[in-house]
A and B are shown apart, each in its own frame.
Chain A
Amino acid sequence: MSDLPPARNGLASGWGPGRIASLAVLLAAILAPVVLGSGYQLDLLSLVLINAMFLFALDLAYGQAGLAAVGHGAFLGIGTYVVGILAVKAGWPFWAAMPIAILVCAAAGLLMGLITLRLAGHYFVIASLALAIAVGLVVSAWQDLTGGALGLGLVPRPAGVGPVSFEAPSAFYWLLLAATLLVMLVCWSLRRSNVGTRLRSIRENPRLASALGVNIVLTRLLVLVISAALAGFAGAFQSTYLGFITPSVLASNVGFYALMALIIGGQRSFVGAVIGAAFFVLVPVLLQFSSALSPVFFGLALVVVILLAPDGVWGRLRALGRWVATRTRAARGGSSARLEPGQERSLP
């Protein structure tokens, strides 16, 4: 892991390829409803946004804190069900239910962290997966509350705020976009804060980090709780997006698929997470002719990326961008190879 460049991507520094790409993606995202209209394609984009939110959250745990949170799908699912249950069974409006979803997920994250964080590597993976499976089982079996395998519906769209209504697909899409940007902002500030610095030290050299006074378990616990809360936030939106909720949102492979998407897109980068989310949503659509083929494709893509591009698609694109930049500078008889402050570093 430590062979990856540190988490200074486009947003943090200069007009590197990261920042340009981020702005281009943002502009395209804002204009999408205008271009695409409000049909199936916008629906898919909305799904990409929800997944991107979840991947931002997951990246905190995986990319930043180095936790192989294969059970993280549970938090997305819990958030989805909390809003679903409150809306359907108690008639709560979305805006009241969503904070509850965040709180419940934060508490669940705390619980999971307390149980699993003291365990070493592989044990953490298995324990978090087992907890996620347990949550899925309980939700399926607790039929009075969750509707069991039959599902739960209908979860309404969020109520309008003032004159703005979120019923129209494009308005709902813009709401999702705003939520996604909010999650991004939270993750970004966290990465820039002392917590982010501590996380970096733990990733780079845990022994030295603790010798300098970093409390590894507490730092990871904090990040796990925040990450779970954000996943719950994404789940709340998934709830109203789906409208009808089934236990499949808590399937044990949700977390695995998310990790896959994140690794393929490129961890520790917002653009990478968005690429991963788009990949995850769009591949099955593109492979529509045989639904069984998309897992095979996903699996192959994952293994190939892990073997050949551990920093993901976006990591490779950035490396390519840097390569082109150095070539053009060299062609202009450019300056020394020394790095300027904040400049992207080339990969080994």
Chain B
Amino acid sequence: MELLAQQMANGIVLGSIYGLLAICLVLIFGVLDIPQFALGAMAMLGGYVVFLLGPIVGYWVSLLAAMVAIGALGAVVQRLVFAPLRKAADVTVFVAAFGLVLIFQGLALVIFGPDPRQVPPSISGSLVIGGVHIAYHRLVIVGVVLAVFLALQWVLRSTRAGRVIRAVGQSTTGAQVVGIPTGRVAFAVMILGSALAGLAGGLLAPISQAMPLAGDSLTINAFIVIILAGMGSIGGALVAAYIVGLVESLGATYLSQDFSQLYSILLMLIVLLVKPSGLFGKKVSRV
């Protein structure tokens, strides 16, 4: 029973991180239609920012710095790569994003080497409830992700900027027709999404350490999450992310550690076969 509770707690923490990245994807992939496959690698770089600056300026300031730095990186990438590829085939954009993964991972490897780097948590120590240990930092992760989700939800639902973003998400040409500067909106959304990826990486670093390959599984799981959820709503993405986190954590405990990634993949395939539009999606996306 204690083990179950412990693993559920871990699953929720894991799900929160996946959820944050999936929210980035809902923005960048769902709204802008850019399959930003390098998001995980950018999160990984965010982890290194916290690793570098944390000891000097403290965790929270370094986390902010990670968001700013990765947001800026997103701006650069949008200007240099994705904006010029606006009219290119889907596949091309995807492969270009993979090129970015190689560049980011390679740079991290060149600069920091292959070994994981320890990153101190925001708050050390852990909460103990009935034999279940939860590091305070993990609670911080869950809390921050929920706060980000609520804030974004409010922005998207109730502000002018949110309406504009949703309009672009519905139809780029439609948005252009009513006079929305879609290029600028895309730029802003890319910066926002990238900054959130930096946040995810900075939050994750204290538990998983900073290392060049840290982003790989994040990317895969974030994509699995939004396929599971169905494109379109950040709420659906967060719920699906918790599901993936729980499946992964419980599967690793009760079935086999070796297959932890396999469970969410299987879940995704089943959903794709049964309901291609995703658990919470409406639009069926088929050839």
Contact = CB atoms under 8 A, between A and B. Distances in A.
Interface in A129-147: 129-131, 133-134, 137-138, 140-141
B213 to A, nearest CB: 10
Contact of A303 (B89, B103, B223, B224): B103
A130 B85 contact: no
B94 A299 contact: no
Contact of B223 (A117, A126, A263): A126
B224 A1 contact: no
A154 interface: no
Given A292-B110, A295-B103, A1 B94 contact: no
B92 A1 contact: yes
A181 to B, nearest CB: 28
A131 B89 CA distance: 23
Interface in A69-95: 70
A296 B220 contact: no
A317 B66 CA distance: 43
B128 to A, nearest CB: 34
Given A118-B276, A137-B258, A300-B99, A292 B109 contact: yes
Interface string B198-216: 0000000000000000001
B102 interface: yes
B120 to A, nearest CB: 26
Contacts of B81: 303, 307
A216 B287 contact: yes
Nearest to A300: B103
B105 A295 contact: yes
A115 B92 contact: no
Nearest to A298: B102
Contact of A125 (B94, B105, B286): B94
A101 interface: no
A120 B103 contact: no
B262 A134 contact: yes
A123 interface: yes
A141 B256 contact: yes
Contacts of A300: 99, 103
A302 B220 contact: no
Nearest to B216: A252
Nearest to A148: B258
A301 to B, nearest CB: 8
B76 to A, nearest CB: 12
A290 interface: yes
Among A121, A296, A299, the one with the most B-chain Cβ atoms within 10 Å of its Cβ is A299
A106 interface: no
Contacts of B285: 119-120, 123
A302 B106 contact: no
A296 B102 CA distance: 6
A62 B91 CA distance: 9
Given A134-B261, A137-B262, A292-B106, 15 more contacts: A1-B92, A115-B273, A123-B227, A130-B220, A133-B265, A134-B262, A141-B259, A293-B106, A295-B106, A295-B109, A296-B107, A296-B110, A306-B85, A306-B92, A310-B92
Interface of B: 29, 35, 81, 84-85, 88-92, 94-96, 98-107, 109-110, 216, 220, 223-224, 227, 256, 258-259, 261-262, 265-266, 268-269, 272-273, 276, 285-287
11 contacts: A66-B91, A115-B273, A123-B276, A127-B268, A130-B268, A133-B261, A140-B258, A299-B103, A302-B95, A303-B96, A306-B96
